[in-house]
Chain A
Amino acid sequence: MSGGTDELAIELREVTRRMGGEYVLRGVNLEVAAGRLVVLRGSNGTGKTTLLRLLATRLRPAGGQAFVFGHDLTRDGAAARARLGLLSVMGGSFPLLTGRENLELAAALAPGPREGAPRSDMAAGGAGFEGPLAGVGLEQAADKLVRTYSSGMKKRLGLARLLLLDPDLWLLDEPYAALDDLGKRLMDECVTAAKARGRTVFMASHESDRDHLGPDAVIELRGGTLRMFGA
């Protein structure tokens, strides 16, 4: 489809991982080429979040090997982290900082724009953090404490951070949960735009009515292993 390179954004080989003593991932094998949009399905408690956190280097695999853009997640997590971003279920912002301060923090801790990579329009849109904030409809609330946000607003702020950093791999954990219709449409637009910019998107979602996103694959996590959805 897009690009002719065979670079793998995600490569998992026999990955296992326990949570609380129990094995949740029992040998996951996955290859996702760069630039693809993949939707991950699975009922509650099957380990979707575990898989996403593992890809984000927050959890180490108990066995097997995991690579993001060729970087071994166990040995070279820092290099992998430089190229990925995670939108967690709760948004992952500091409640006692304002929306803008949260973005400032992220910008200060990220190493700066990568050369050559096309930035998202919103990140490029003007100085400061107005671009991403306006892009998710938070310009009014930018200077209020995140503590006062609704859960939908927190999610939008998480999305704004993702737009700001614009990583090569977008990991989205239930991105549509807690969003209103407008928010869902916003999320759709951002995901589509990210894919158009060549980003890889790996999304865990219950929402089955997102088919218009045109995912390259829908996969399912069941019994600790992955398979193509419906297979």
Chain B
Amino acid sequence: MTDTSRTRRPRWLTVFGLVTLAVVGVGLYGALIMSPPDVNQGDLIRVMYAHVPVAWIGFAAVAVSAVWGMLYLWRGRAIDDVRAQGTAEAALLYSILTVVGGMTYSKPTLNTYWTWDAKLTLTALMVALVVGYFIVRALIDDPQRRARVSAVIMIVVLASLPFNYLAAEWFRTLHPAKSVNLDGSGVTMDPTMLRVLLLNVLGGAMVFVYFISERIRIGRLSLADDKTFDSVKGVAREVVSVR
């Protein structure tokens, strides 16, 4: 059972983690020092370098989790559910960070923590949807039913995102009391800014992949421990045959 080759962290993951750290460091340098301040937003633009990658990865995480869920429904392998769950946890974390980031951004620009900005509204709804996913997970004991039902929920969540985006966008268009883009897209990007942003997106994506890999690795280990029927498995049992 406790085969060290399975419990030890694979070497590639450690190397990948170190590379990730380096990329994030360079990204941080770019965001804090290299990037010029924005004409309109000044140094506030530096928040954008963290905010935008986090937001993008949050949305991608929901899609990835839904794809793992579909794979589970198709193949029925427990590991796909572990992957879906781990990715969903990341989706929750990243979308909460996005909402917090959006609110930090909106306080100095609009002097209010909350604005019905389309993307911010959409992300808040996504937080609610993913929280619902975890509530249902917590309520189902049987691991297979839990995996199936949560895969189904994630598929519905994924399908709801474009509609929620449209609705949030139009909601704002009809009530644009104050509208400032909270994602920096209103900013005319100078090439340095764009490079720094893309670097930070890469760094953020690598952090995401690193944590997901660790999460799945741990999930795989606890999956192995979960086989409580192993004690009876392997014992040769006769087939009760009524012919």
Residue positions of A touching B, CB distance < 8 A: 6, 14, 16, 18-21, 23, 26-27, 29-33, 36, 38, 60, 62-63, 74, 216-217, 219, 224-228
Contact = CB atoms under 8 A, between A and B. Distances in A.
B111 interface: no
B232 A224 contact: yes
B241 A225 contact: no
Given A21-B142, A27-B237, A29-B237, A36 B242 contact: yes
Given A26-B229, A27-B229, A27-B232, A20 B142 contact: yes
B11 interface: no
A30 B240 contact: yes
A225 B144 contact: no
B239 A31 contact: yes
Chain B: interface secondary structure?
loop
B242 A38 contact: yes
B8 interface: no
B5 interface: no
B108 interface: no
Contacts of B243: 6, 31, 33, 36
Given A18-B143, A60-B144, A225 B239 contact: no
A62 B239 contact: no
Given A21-B142, A29-B240, 4 more contacts: A18-B142, A29-B237, A31-B242, A216-B242
A6 B241 CA distance: 12
B238 interface: yes
By DSSP majority rule, is chain A's interface helix, strand, loop, or mixed? strand
A219 B143 CA distance: 29
Given A18-B143, A21-B142, A225 B242 contact: no
B178 interface: no
A26 B235 CA distance: 11
Contacts, number: 62
B142 A32 contact: no
A62 B144 contact: yes
A224 to B, nearest CB: 7
B141 A32 contact: no
Contacts of A29: 237-240
B228 interface: yes
7 contacts: A16-B229, A20-B141, A23-B229, A26-B229, A38-B242, A225-B237, A227-B238
A27 B233 contact: yes
Interface in B206-243: 228-229, 232-233, 235, 237-243
Pick from B143, B232, B240, B241 the residue with the most CB of A within 10 Å: B240
Contacts of B144: 18, 60, 62
Nearest to A215: B242
Interface string B124-144: 000000000000000001111
Contacts of B239: 29-31
A225 B239 CA distance: 10
A36 B239 CA distance: 16
Contacts of B240: 29-31, 217, 219, 226-228
A21 B242 contact: no
Contacts of A74: 76
A191 to B, nearest CB: 16
A217 B229 contact: no
* 10 closest residue pairs by CB, A with B: A29-B239, A217-B242, A21-B141, A31-B241, A26-B232, A33-B243, A20-B141, A32-B242, A226-B240, A23-B229
A30 B238 CA distance: 9
Interface in B85-109: none
Contacts of A21: 141-143
Contacts of A30: 239-242
Nearest to B233: A27
Contacts of A36: 242-243
A23 B142 contact: no
Given A18-B142, A18-B143, A60-B144, A23 B228 contact: yes
Chain A CB within 10 Å, residue with most, of B76, B144, B235: B144
Contacts of B242: 30-33, 36, 38, 216-217, 219
